[in-house]
């Protein structure tokens, strides 16, 4: 065998090896995510898309809304909701069995307009007095299925002030409740901390007192009919990977 032929054969072998090592064709991944994870997902996705070549299309809504849409048959590849909803959808055959991964945990906080005096929410009684004193309180409409809105509305009943606060409530169907404070439509907002931190023009007063705090865990699962199971699994691994904890912390969240 001549040197030229040998070099030609070696080149062919090298090209074949590179081709076999190349990643699979890029996929478009549809990610449904509850609002509390919106800011975290936005920061984690660019690196994933650069590393894999995949494109992720994100759709945000409340956990309750997503649960209804998925149960009704909407196509998706990965969903981030609450563990109970993921498990329920798994039983219904809409999320792949064994694919659930718990990603994050977040508590509820209070926000006021930037520059405003910070109200006292240091104790349950102080928080109750603040709610009664302010002219308006913004929170997620419980009817929309938002976790914090459902909890807070029930908390008002426990505190015995449901009638007074509901009468001056500024309800939002989804998205960032603190935007109502930033725009001047509400005096304070009660929402999950990760959905207060990204809003410009507001200040996080702090979390609810420990005695009435409620933490929500968010979990992800792969769609049972995902278009590209390997790509969906790669996204899930990235969301649960080592890049997430510092971003979670910056957004007011922690690992479960």
Q: Specify the residue for token string 């919106």.
A: 38
Q: Which residues, 6 or more positions from 89, have their beta carbon under 8 angstroms from its beta carbon?
A: 67, 70, 71, 79, 81, 95, 221
Helix or strand holding residue 217 (H, E): strand 216-222
Q: Contacts by 84-91 with C-beta closer than 8 Å and gap 24+?
A: 86/219, 86/220, 86/221, 89/221, 90/221
Q: Quick check: 123 and 209 in contact, CB under 8 A?
A: yes
Q: Quick check: 107 and 193 in contact, CB under 8 A?
A: yes
In a domain, 205, yes or no: yes
Together in a domain, 25 and 91: yes
Residue range of the domain that includes 115: 108-212
Q: Quick check: 56 and 31 in contact, CB under 8 A?
A: yes
Q: What is the arithmetic mean of pLDDT over 241-247?
A: 96
In a domain, 146, yes or no: yes
pLDDT digit string, tens, across residues 82-93: 999 999 999 999
Together in a domain, 134 and 113: yes
In a domain, 7, yes or no: no
Together in a domain, 26 and 150: no
For the entire predicted model, the pTM comes to: 0.80
Write the DSSP assignment of 124-179 as a string of letters.
HHHHHHHHHHSS-EEEE-GGGT-HHHHHHHHHHHHHT-HHHHHTTEEEESSS-TTH
Together in a domain, 225 and 100: yes
Together in a domain, 179 and 195: yes
Q: Quick check: 147 and 82 in contact, CB under 8 A?
A: yes
Q: Over 80: is that where the pLDDT of 8 sits?
A: no
Together in a domain, 199 and 230: no
Q: Over 70: is that where the pLDDT of 61 sits?
A: yes
Query: How would you label 184-193 residue by residue, b for 16+ Cβ within 10 Å and e otherwise?
Result: eebbbbbbbb
Together in a domain, 143 and 47: no
User: Is the Cα torsion angle 100, 106, 112, 116 positive or negative in sign?
Assistant: negative
Together in a domain, 168 and 203: yes
Flag the least confident range among 20-24, 71-75, 125-129, 138-142: 20-24
Work out the percent of the chain whose per-residue pLDDT is above 90: 86
In a domain, 10, yes or no: no
Helix axes 38-52 and 229-239, enclosed angle (nearest 10): 120
Q: What is the CATH number of the domain that holds 127?
A: 3.40.190.10
In a domain, 8, yes or no: no
In a domain, 206, yes or no: yes
- Domain total in the chain: 2
pLDDT digit string, tens, across residues 170-182: 999 989 999 999 9
Together in a domain, 224 and 197: no
Together in a domain, 84 and 150: no
Q: Which residues, 6 or more positions from 72, have their beta carbon under 8 angstroms from its beta carbon?
A: none
Together in a domain, 134 and 230: no
In a domain, 149, yes or no: yes
Q: 18 vs 124, which has greater pLDDT?
A: 124
Q: Quick check: 250 and 256 in contact, CB under 8 A?
A: no
Together in a domain, 152 and 165: yes
Indicate the residue among 212, 227, 246 that finishes a domain: 212
Work out the percent of the chain whose per-residue pLDDT is above 70: 91
Q: Over 60: is that where the pLDDT of 100 sits?
A: yes
User: Token pair of 115, please?
Assistant: 């520059």
In a domain, 14, yes or no: no
Q: What is the arithmetic mean of pLDDT over 135-153?
A: 95
């Amino acid at each position: 065998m001549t040197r030229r032929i040998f070099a030609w054969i070696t080149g062919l072998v090298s090209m074949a090896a590179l081709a076999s090592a190349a990643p699979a064709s890029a996929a478009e991944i549809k990610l449904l995510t509850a609002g509390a994870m919106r800011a975290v997902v936005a920061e984690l996705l660019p690196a994933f898309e650069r590393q894999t070549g995949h494109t992720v299309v994100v759709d945000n809504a409340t956990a309750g809304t997503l649960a209804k849409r998925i149960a009704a048959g909407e196509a998706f590849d990965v969903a981030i909701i609450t563990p109970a909803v993921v498990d329920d959808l798994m039983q219904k055959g809409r999320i792949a069995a064994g694919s659930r991964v718990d990603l994050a945990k977040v508590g509820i906080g209070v926000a006021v307009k930037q520059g405003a005096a910070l109200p006292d929410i240091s104790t349950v009684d102080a928080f109750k007095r603040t709610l009664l004193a302010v002219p308006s309180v913004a929170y997620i409409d419980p009817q929309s299925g938002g976790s914090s809105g459902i909890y807070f509305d029930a908390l008002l009943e426990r505190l015995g002030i449901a009638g007074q606060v509901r009468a001056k409530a500024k309800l939002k169907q989804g998205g960032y409740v603190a935007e109502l404070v930033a725009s001047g439509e509400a005096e304070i907002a009660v929402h999950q901390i990760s959905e207060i931190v990204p809003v410009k023009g507001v200040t996080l007063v702090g979390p609810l007192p420990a005695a009435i705090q409620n933490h929500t865990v968010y979990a992800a699962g792969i769609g049972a009919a995902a278009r590209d199971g390997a790509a969906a699994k790669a996204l899930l691994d990235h969301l649960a990977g080592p890049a997430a904890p510092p971003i979670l912390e910056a957004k007011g969240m922690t690992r479960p």
